[in-house]
Structure 1
Amino acid sequence: MDREEERLLYKIAKLYYEEDYTQAEISSRLGIYRTTIGRMLKKARKEGIVKITVQSQLNEQIQLEEEISEHFDMKEVIIVPSSENGNHSGNEEVGKATTKLLNRVIRDNDTIGSAWGTTLGTTVNQLYDLNSKNVTCVPLVGGPGEMEVDFHVNAIVYKLAQAFSGESHFIDAAAVHQSKETAQEILNSNYMSKILDLWEQLSVAIVGIGTQLKSSNLIWSGFLGQKDQKELEAHQAIGDICSRFYTLGGESIASPISERTIAVKLETLQSLRYSIGIAYSKEKAKSIIGAMRGSFINTLVTDEETAFEIKRLMEKEG
């Protein structure tokens, strides 16, 4: 490229990118064919005369989303600002982000499964302006024990279906039972057959992520006793989804507790078009990492505080 060509490329690029001339206006001003202007603008970028950068106030957040997403081979990671008051069960930004995500990814005739818990219950209460869809919503796990109605799986499924103007189904069973025989009787019952059929048809799951055992919902809601806790500790359980436990390495835990549990299997979540995990708080960072490693979720909605803790743990592990 000689000096005159470089000068002309610079002049055209300056008119187009800095002075907002159209290609037609540049063509008229410089006496160059409009088609040639387009080719010269491309060459200006190729030669480094024009360098385009994409910038946003969200640069750091988006970079962190991509870093976590690529590291764990996720479809998408969405990070929202942390709650100013430190409330880990009621971040309105999570509700807004989840609404936009669901409007993007939910299709007519989807079968959507949901779990239970405080985070999911709060998030579903914050879903506004969802597009009406012909969807079916179903519980992925039996109902909790001592828990507020808003956080019960049937209440969450009902509100989710209402938000979409879709159809809801309910489950009439606890999450964990005293014996595997009781759990098996329930699974074999007529009233569970419809739920099991819907689990086979799942296309999308929306799940919370249980934290480490010491503060697990399953413990304080009365489902798991000390013997169960010791057994899960022996298996190095790091978290649970739908009352199914897994390790930090992303391995699902098979134990006698599993045989007493009424819930979709974690392996089912691995094959869904979208398995959306909604979870935030630094205490859940390792539980979230285990869920991503196991591919039990392929999409994550979380907050900045949690995301930075996930990154810290990633760097610590090397």
Structure 2
Amino acid sequence: MDKVDKNKVYQIIKVAKLYYEAKLGQEDIAKMEGISKATVSRLLQKGIDKGFIKVYIDYQMESVSRLENKLKQCFGLKDVFVCPVTINMEDIVLRDVCKTLADRLERYIQNNSVVGVSWGNTMNTLASEIQKMSVTNVNVVQLNGGVPKHTISTGATRIVDTLAAACDGEGYLCPVPAIVDSKSISDVLKNDSQVRNVLHLAEQSETIIFSIGALTKQSILFQAGYFKEDEYNQLFLKKAVGDICSRFFNIYGEIVDEELDQRVVGMSFEEIKKKKYRIAVVSGENKVDATLGALLGDFPNVLYIDEKTAEKVLVKYETLKLKRTL
């Protein structure tokens, strides 16, 4: 860094300290430093952009009780948290939902236990919100394979590593692709000693945490190269609406392609349903059909969801009920 750069950084730090620590207004800082108020504002923004300033809003969200109670009533869920939408921006809403779950995770995790996790964009966001917990010796295991077929990262290791560190435990990855070319290959991989041990450990979990994937070509499964375009189009034709742990289902929670399902390396829906806490974290109105399908399939019994998505899931549910009675 040259002298000019250093001077600029020092100016950013000084203005930031005056504003955030000394609690001076931007106009007062401008007079003190002999600069314009607009320059003060720009320096503060540069401090944020460069990572010198980190703004963290620590507020305890309260669930939208009207929607929470309706979701429990309609789907027999053990626990629901409907996160209010304060700012209608997708990334912020997702972060709020994930932070809420991260803050409440300890109620679902015991000392000396095993927790199973899926992976994906939502789970990566959840990982960024997890803080140190009081529970200890918790082993965290991946529920399905996470090795991509393209160079794009699935981020599968992040949630495992982060949660294990937060609980003073060990992390266990499933070091194979989520979906392979045939059932015979899947069977061989499941019998590999390392994979078999990971899947056996996952079976011992009482708590599992997963996201619900929407059927979209922006999904990490498609981006990671698990499907060619025509193969993915076939899922649309078979009326798939989403996936959990790389297993695809329709709006009624039924598997849409048995042959594809047999090629998945990971926990089955039957095994998922045996768990004491099956925690789904979901955000985004593009996931309404996928969330409803998951609920009708009885995959989650604990749900963390945003207000707008929850509202639309319930409307879709009432519409679906009406159609079935006609």
Cα 1:89–1:235 change in 2 (3 A) is farther
Unaligned regions of 5+ residues in structure 1, if any? 1-56
Q: For residue 69 of structure 2, what is the aligned residue in structure 1? A: 66
SS in 2 for 1:78: strand
- In the TM superposition, 1:162-201 aligns within 5 A as 162-201=165-204
After TM superposition, which residue ranges in structure 1, 4 or more long, deviate above 6 angstroms? none
Cα 1:128–1:97 change in 2 (3 A) is same
Q: What is the one-letter code of the residue matched to 1:112?
A: V
Identity of aligned residues (%): 28
The 8 Å contact of residues 102 and 126 in structure 2, kept in 1 or not, is answered as no
SS in 1 for 2:161: helix
Matched, 1:202 2:192: no
Matched, 1:305 2:313: no
Q: Normalising by structure 1, what TM-score? A: 0.75
Task: Note the C-alpha offset of 1:98.
Answer: 0.8
- Deviation per CA, 1:265-299: give whole Å up to 9, x if none: 01111110001011111110110011111111111
Q: What is the one-letter code of the residue matched to 2:100?
A: A
Task: Note the C-alpha offset of 1:90.
Answer: 6.6
Cα 1:287–1:144 change in 2 (3 A) is farther
Cα 1:129–1:162 change in 2 (3 A) is closer
The 8 Å contact of residues 90 and 123 in structure 1, kept in 2 or not, is answered as no
Q: What is the one-letter code of the residue matched to 1:173?
A: V
Q: Normalising by structure 2, what TM-score? A: 0.74
Match of 1:124 among 127, 150, 164: 127
SS in 2 for 1:91: helix
Partners in 2 of 1:182 and 1:313 — Cα distance?
Answer: 39
The 8 Å contact of residues 89 and 119 in structure 1, kept in 2 or not, is answered as no
- In the TM superposition, 1:2-81 aligns within 5 A as 61-81=64-84
Instruction: Provide the alpha-carbon RMSD of the alignment.
Output: 2.2
Match of 2:288 among 285, 288, 293: 285
Q: For residue 96 of structure 2, what is the aligned residue in structure 1? A: 93
Partners in 2 of 1:122 and 1:259 — Cα distance?
Answer: 29
Q: For residue 266 of structure 2, what is the aligned residue in structure 1? A: 263
- Deviation per CA, 1:101-139: give whole Å up to 9, x if none: 311121123211111111111111111242232211100
The 8 Å contact of residues 83 and 91 in structure 1, kept in 2 or not, is answered as no
Cα 1:285–1:147 change in 2 (3 A) is farther
Task: Note the C-alpha offset of 1:85.
Answer: 5.5
Q: For residue 104 of structure 1, what is the aligned residue in structure 2? A: 107
Q: For residue 249 of structure 1, what is the aligned residue in structure 2? A: 252
Matched, 1:143 2:149: no
Larger radius of gyration: 1
Task: Note the C-alpha offset of 1:253.
Answer: 3.3
Cα 1:231–1:207 change in 2 (3 A) is same
Task: Note the C-alpha offset of 1:89.
Answer: 7.3
Unaligned regions of 5+ residues in structure 2, if any? 1-60
Match of 1:153 among 156, 168, 182: 156
Q: What is the one-letter code of the residue matched to 1:316?
A: T
Equivalent pairs counted in the alignment come to 260
